[in-house]
Structure 1
Amino acid sequence: MVNQWTQAEHALGYLSRAEQLPHRLEGEAVLLEQIPRNVERVLDLGTGDGRLLALVKRKCPHTKGVALDFSPAMLQAAQARFADDATVEIVAHDFDQPLPPLGCFDVVVSSFAIHHCPHERKRSLYEEIFDLLEPGGVFCNLEHVASPTPALHERFLYAIGQSPHTDDPSNKLLDVETQLGWLRQVGFADVDCYWKWLELALLVGVKPA
């Protein structure tokens, strides 16, 4: 399984163009709408430079956050972003492996990260996320998903300034419906795709209270 995210050049190259990802702000805005303002603890899986967790904390300033990633370059960027914020804990961990003991959370978020896991690991990770959530907790996964046809995948690549020749070999894309089905099987309620543009989708589920 190819995963280039431990390479600094690959990680920093992504960060340099992340702001230009079309419609990203729309997806993030819909994600933030799903998060109550009174949450106490938030886990950001695959935090990257901490962008999404920073947006969550802007909405919920008193929230304590855990930012998890395994890329040294990403961890360094997250540490720099949250250097003056004692309410954020940075955790180095490859979530291809079972999650470490982290405690319980009111919200778990992830942004364009879980699609780097093999499909079997995606499903087991959803189970672990369910177990980490407090009753009534929310899981929001802003994700890169598979297109239903090769032609639509190629259209997406060109829409984000890439091509089949520059497609990221680390991606292990899976369709929306399969993942929604897994979330329901795990036990999440109110599961749906809350927003979508081509291969970018927001998958949400709530742990029953």
Structure 2
Amino acid sequence: MTPYIGDIDAWQESWDRQQEAYLPDREHRFAAMLDAVDAIRDTGPLRLLDLAGGTGTISLRALRRFPDAELTLVDLDPALLALATAALRDRATIVTADLGRPDWHHALPHRRYDAVLTATALHWLPADRLATLYGELCDLLRPGGLLVNADYMPDDALPELTKRLLARSRERREARYAAGAALSWSQWWEQAEQDETLRPLVRQRHGIYPTGHSPEWNPPVSWHLDALAKAGFAEAGTLWRGGPDAAVVGLR
């Protein structure tokens, strides 16, 4: 059953503003991801997997661009999944699964996808698990299908510039918080816990992630490209870059 969460558009906007405080060029990476999907599409509806899809950010944008796409969204967070379910209604299959487990894909409705898209989510997986997951995702793609992962992936050759870019980004983010232009990550979750429907789901989330789920492990883009090649992708490269962030792509 789709949960009643008041004005779901307002919650989606609130999430977007909170995320954009960290990622001001967030929409650019989404556009680049969907451009890549458009480039590999065949005739007939696209079958897309929104991995660690959270509130449905990628799925909503994908459906605006590809209205007949078959969407599957996977996540573990009960609060974010409730928001995704309310926003997407019956336009996507919502799956609860733990990407840290090797059997996570058993819950998927399909065995083959045209594309797997994910953004600012897989950094919480340890290195060995992410490398293995890349192989599992390669197996889920049809020949010619692609995986795009957008996240904090610094350029190995620009360590000093990356530090300066991050410092400037921090200054701008703190200024936005001080002016009330956006909620911080912790403030957004505090706000969600005030909602009557989301409150028990946020508390469930605390049980799943008692200490958070983001380790201090953010490898450079070269690590991801090497891992994609070893996972069996025919091509691996950088699709998009914005300062210290990048979107890497693997083509099966």
TM-score range, shorter chain: 0.7 to 0.9
The one-letter code of the counterpart of 2:96 is A
The runs of at least 4 aligned residues of structure 1 exceeding 3 Å deviation read 13-16, 146-151, 160-163, 166-169
What's the counterpart of residue 8 of structure 1?
Answer: none
Aligned to 1:81: 87
The structure with the greater share of residues assigned to helix is 2
Alpha carbons 1:115, 1:145 under 8 Å: kept: no
**Equivalent residues of 1:39, 1:106 under 8 A apart:** no
CA deviation profile, 1:167-203 (whole Å, cap 9, x unmatched): 9971431110011011111111231111112221110
1:90 alignment counterpart: 94
* Cα distance change, pair 35–151 in 1 and its aligned pair in 2 (3 A): closer
Alpha-carbon separation, structure 2, partners of 1:43 and 1:157: 34
After TM superposition, the structure 1 = structure 2 runs for residues 46-195 of structure 1, keeping only pairs within 5 Å, are 46-83=52-89, 86-98=90-102, 99-101=104-106, 102=108, 103-146=111-154, 148=156, 149=159, 152-153=162-163, 155-156=165-166, 158-160=168-170, 161=172, 170-171=214-215, 172-195=217-240
Structure 2, gaps ≥5 residues long: 1-13, 175-183, 186-211
Contact 2:132 2:231 (C-alpha < 8 Å) held by counterparts: no
- Structure 2 counterpart of 1:9: none
Which of 16, 20, 24 pairs up with 2:26? Answer: 24
Count of aligned positions: 192
Secondary structure, counterpart of 1:91 in structure 2: strand
Q: Deviations over 1:114-140 (max 9, x none)?
A: 111111111011001001111111111
- Residue by residue, what CA displacement relative to the aligned partner does 1:31-66 show, whole Å, maximum 9, x if unpaired? 111013555311111101101111112111111111
> Displacement, 1:23?
1.2
- Residue by residue over 1:43-98, the C-alpha shift from the partner in whole angstroms, topping out at 9 and shown as x without a partner, is 11110110111111211111111111111121111011112xx2411111121112
Q: Which amino acid aligns with 1:74?
A: L
Q: TM-score, normalised to structure 1's length?
A: 0.81
Q: How far apart, CA to CA, are the structure 2 residues paired with 1:131 and 1:157?
A: 39
- In structure 1, the gaps of 5 or more residues are 1-12
Residues 17-39 of structure 1, C-alpha deviations (whole Å, 9 max, x = no match): 11442111111111111013555
Q: Name the one with the larger strand percent.
A: 1
TM-score, with structure 2 as normaliser: 0.68
Contact 2:228-2:250 at 8 Å conserved across structures: yes
Q: CA RMSD in A?
A: 2.7
Aligned partners of 2:50 and 2:226: how far apart in 1?
Answer: 22
Whichever of the two has the greater Rg, that structure is: 2
CA distance in 1, matches of 2:95, 2:165: 36
Q: Distance in 1 between matches of 2:164 and 2:83?
A: 31
**Residues 147 and 153, structure 1, Cα contact 8 Å, conserved in 2:** no
Give SS of 1:34's match: helix
Counterpart-to-counterpart distance in 2, 1:151 and 1:204? 24
Cα distance, 1:90–1:154 mapped onto 2, change above 3 Å: farther
Contact 2:165 2:244 in 1 (8 A): no
Distance 1:104 1:27, change over 3 A: same
Q: Could you say if the C-alpha distance between residues 93 and 15 of structure 1 is closer, same or farther in structure 2, counting changes exceeding 3 Å?
A: farther
